[in-house]
Each structure stands twice: as structure tokens, then as C-alpha cells.
Structure 1
Amino acid sequence: MVSCGCSKENVELSSAKIIGGEEAIPFSWSMIVSIRLNNFDEHSCAGTILTESYILTSAHCVAGTLVWDVSIAAGMHNRITDFSMIRYVTEIYIHPNWSGNDGTYRNDIAILRISPPLSMPGILGLTRICVPYINSMTETVNYPPTGSHLVIVGWGSTQYDYNSTSDTLQQTSIYMIDNNDPICQESIHDEEKQFCAGMSGYNPCQGDSGGPVFQWKGTYWEQVRSLIFQSCR
């Protein structure tokens, strides 16, 4: 029995996009969390559940913040009205080789330790992410292969407006694009550690950073990447 990558409700996908909107089935992505900074009611970035005590997100979402200014909310669909499990961050671990805010987004990874641990699955049906088992850097660069069908999830903007985010969890299908494709050249700064994916007109946006890129493995969803760069175009 798979103990990760599955939620209490099944995922249903159409061809819609996050910009323009497709609302996810409530509680079909039980491994995603909202990360809040300063004002604990305001969504800033997304993250995913690694374990009961650790959350995966992007470094640029939490760099320069103090632990007592960061919290996470788990187990919700509508981030305004739904009950959620709130946890406070006690440690922030940023990749030691993160490039900082230089615009390249190299090693843009962070892990948050939270307390107390999440109750899993609990009444909210929380689950952790599945991650791929990869033997070498060569496999990492080529995984998932170009053309792979992927899904991104988040509470990011549903309009071309950086000041708005979605109240309800959104989702869209995208496809892995070769990093050497001309449309990727402005975004890719390290082909070994970054990836290019999307579809014409289909893009993540503000508020989606740190969130998951999933691939269906036949019986469960595997998180293959995290969103570190958004264009809204």
C-alpha cells in the first residue's frame, strides 16, 4: 500500500490553466500547504509535506525571514473559509549553495521544520509527498523525460495581476520541455538543477512559488520538481 502521494479524493483534470483557472477537486491534493509570512492569514507561497515535521518549499519564499514570522496551513481547499491545521516554523534550512536573489534561482530549495508535528492523516486526511529515487546526476537532468505530462497545483493568481491570489486551490496540466528549447533560454541558468515546463498560455503565477510539480505514476502522484520561477505570461 502506498503511504504517500494519494489523497482522500481523486484528482480530476481538464485542459484549463491556473491563469484563467481550474479549481481542483476539494481535498484531492492533501500534501500541499500554504506558507504564510508575517500576517499569518495571508498566503505567500506553497509547500508540500515531506513528513509530519518537515515541509518542502523554495528558498526565495523564506530567505531573510525569521522563524517566528513563518507559519504553514495544511488540509484546506479554500484558504479563506476552510478549517486548516496551523503549525509554526521552528527551523528554516536553506540549501547552502542557493544563489540568493541574483535572478538565477540556482538551488532554490528550503526545508521547514514545524512544531508540533502534523496529525496524519487525521481528520483532514493529510498525506506526504512521494519523491523519485534517482541514482545519478545524469538521471536527475533527464528526469522526467521531455514531453512528460505533469501537473502543477497552487493558490497563485488566476488573473494577470500580481496582487491577487486564488481563494481556492487551482491546478493545471503542463509538459516537460527540453531545456535547450529557445522558449526556455531566458529562464534556465543551470541545466543540471533547473527545468523548463509549460504550455503556450498555461503558466504558474504569483503565489505558486514553492509548490509542487507532480507526475502520475499509475497508482500515486510523485513530486518531481518544485516551482521556483513564474512568468504569468
Structure 2
Amino acid sequence: MRLSGAHRTPARRTVSAVIAAGAVLGLAGTSVGTASAVAPAHPARPDSPVIGGTEKPVGSYPFMAALLAKGRGNPHDRQFCGGSLLDPYVVMTAAHCVVDTRPKQLETVVGRTVLSKRNQGHLRNVTDIVVHPRYARGQEAYDIAFLMLDKPVTGTAPVNLPTAGTDALIRPGSKATVIGWGNTDTEVPDYPDRLRAVDVPVVSHIECKASYPGYDKKVNVCAGVEGRDSCQGDSGGPMFRKLPGRRGVYQTGIVSYGDGCAAQGAPGVYTYTGSAKLWDTLSESAAGRKVKRLLGR
């Protein structure tokens, strides 16, 4: 997946192509839908897909969403972050993907496996962007945002979330899956058109803190090992698990940042979707309270 950056300033896993797209569309310097956000301190990472992953068949992960800069070009070239269907009207992504962006400047497609295949999935306009209020005030650990869609995505099961305040699904050593269209090569950036997936081990909070001094175990979780990781272009996408006897998937993380991609001792950092603190503090803004009511949380 798409990651880069120095150890002390780990970079967000966004696609560098969005910088060029943003220049054309005027993304820089605009306001976020319902929150006054600040730009993240971590620089955007150059383009690249899931490291160590494999291509997936069409329809493998119908809840997966791609964030696209609005325009007429090839969707593969306009994709800059991932997301997941959380409700028929809501796509969940990373805050750093959409901070300082207006809803009319992007669109999202849910259920598409090959980005360039316009006949796949459900294309939706975005009517509002809700950034976590703490991220908007500069607390980068709260890297989560919600895109409100103009029409519902029907016939597709949204992701499930862990019970707030629990940690059973992020036991160190357990395996989770990450999917995205991010960079697949740490030497020569290569962004795939087809969705890829990789299984990664969850890393303990102690080990992650050793790699990232600013890591917040209350709202973050780490995963990855040398050769298997997310990378640039995977930002905002889901990390999830399938549980025996249960339908659908449980999303445990949102791709956030990391030091390079798939490097030894530098796992990827994810916003933990089971964090009680993450959801409790979402109520600190009126827009956040609206999202919680909509989701029944």
C-alpha cells in the first residue's frame, strides 16, 4: 500500500497523484464540509498499492469504496484514497484524505474492483464531509471522516464495526486483511487498476510505540511486517477480519500512516474503529453527533 516518509515524521498513505488533481480542481485551501480542519503534519506519500498482496476477482469486496477527484479522466488516474461502506448513505475514510476538500470536488464509487471499468459498482456524489472534530483541531490520531452520499447504496452489505471499547479483534499476532489500489512496489512505484488484498499481522501497542513515539494506543492499532503492508494510495481503506460463523466482515482499522512501506520494524498505523474514545469524542461536534445518530452509535 502507499506509504513513505522519515521515521520521525511518518507519512500519510495517500496517492501523490491527488496533489496534481487537487491543483487542477482547486482542492487546496478549501474548507471541509462541516468541520474547520487543519492540514496534517505528515506529508502525502507517493503513489503505490498494497505491498505483498494479490489481485482479487471482481465482486470480492463489494463494501470497498474508492475516492475519486471529480473529472472526466480515467477513474484509475483520479483515485487517491480508499474507504468503506458503513451505511447505505455513508462511506467511512481517513480524515487526512478529505481535509480541506469540498464535497463537490470528489465522488466515490462503491463495489468496483477494476477502477477503469465504469460499469462496475455504484458511483455516488458526496453531499457532505464530516471530519472527526479532534482531527479538525489538530489531533492527528483521530484520523477518520465520513462522506454523506446523495443516494443510498442498496444491495450491498456495509462493514460491521467492533463493539466500542473492546480489543478482542486486535490481539497481537492475529491476522487481518487490508485492501486497496495503493502502491505495490517500494522501488519503482506501481499503482494497480485492479483491487489487491494482503494479510497482515496485528502488532502490539508496545512494539508500535517503539516505532512511532507519537502513537496513541487509545485510538490506533498497528499491523504489518516486512514485505506485507499498506502503502501510498491505500489511505482511508479498511483493515478487517472475517469471523467464523458470522456474515460479512468486521472492520478494525482505517489506513492512516507509516514509515515507508513494508519496511522492517515499521508497521502501518491504523485508526482503530473499536475505540470507545474515538466514538465518544465524535460527539464533540454537531456534525459528529448527527453521524452517530445515523449509525445508531
Structure-1-length-normalised TM-score = 0.80
Q: For 2:159, give the aligned amino acid.
A: I
How far residue 81 of structure 1 moved from its aligned partner, in angstroms, is: 2.2
Name the structure 1 match of 2:206.
180
| Matched pairs, number | 206
Q: Give the conservation status (yes or no) of the 8 Å contact 1:67–1:90.
A: yes
Alignment partner, residue 133 of structure 1: 163
- 1:86 paired with 2:86, answer no
Q: List alignment gaps of at least 5 residues for structure 1.
A: 1-16
8 A contact 1:72–1:87 mirrored in 2: yes
Q: Does 1:18 align with 2:50?
A: yes
Match of residue 67 from structure 2 = 35
| Shift in alpha-carbon separation, 1:161–1:33, aligned structure 2, 3 A | farther
Aligned to 1:203: 229
1:228 matches 2:256: yes
**Larger fraction in helix:** 2
Q: For 1:84-143, what per-residue CA distance to the aligned partner results, in whole angstroms no more than 9, with x for missing partners?
A: 32111101000000167x7x731000011010222x21xxxx321111123x3xx35x64
Secondary structure of 1:97 counterpart: helix
Could you say if the C-alpha distance between residues 173 and 183 of structure 1 is closer, same or farther in structure 2, counting changes exceeding 3 Å? farther
SS at match of 1:98: helix
Once residues 195 and 213 of structure 2 are traced to their aligned partners in structure 1, the CA distance between those partners, rounded to angstroms, is 25
Q: Hey, what's the Cα distance between the residues in 1 that align with 2:234 and 2:63? A: 15
In the alignment, what sits opposite 1:56?
Answer: 92
Find out whether 1:117 has 2:152 as its counterpart.
yes
1:145–1:27 CA distance, 2 compared to 1 (3 A): same
Q: Which amino acid aligns with 2:162?
A: P
Instruction: Look up the SS of the partner of 1:46 in the other structure.
Output: strand
> How far 1:226 sits from its partner (Å)?
0.9
Superimposed CA distance per residue, residues 171-223 of structure 1 (whole angstroms, 9 cap, x where no aligned partner): 00001111211685227521111111112211111110000011121133211
Q: Do the aligned partners of 2:208 and 2:215 also contact (CA within 8 Å) in 1? A: no
Identity percentage over the alignment? 25
Mapped partners of 2:181, 2:213: distance in 1? 22
- With normalisation by structure 2, the TM-score equals 0.64
RMSD between aligned residues: 2.3
* Unaligned residue ranges in structure 2 (runs of 5+): 1-48, 264-297
* Structure 2 match to 1:11: none
Q: Offset at 1:146?
A: 1.0
| Alpha-carbon distance in 2 for matches of 1:19, 1:213 | 14
Alpha-carbon distance between aligned partners in 2 of 1:32 and 1:187, rounded to the nearest angstrom: 31
Give the Å deviation of 1:20: 4.6
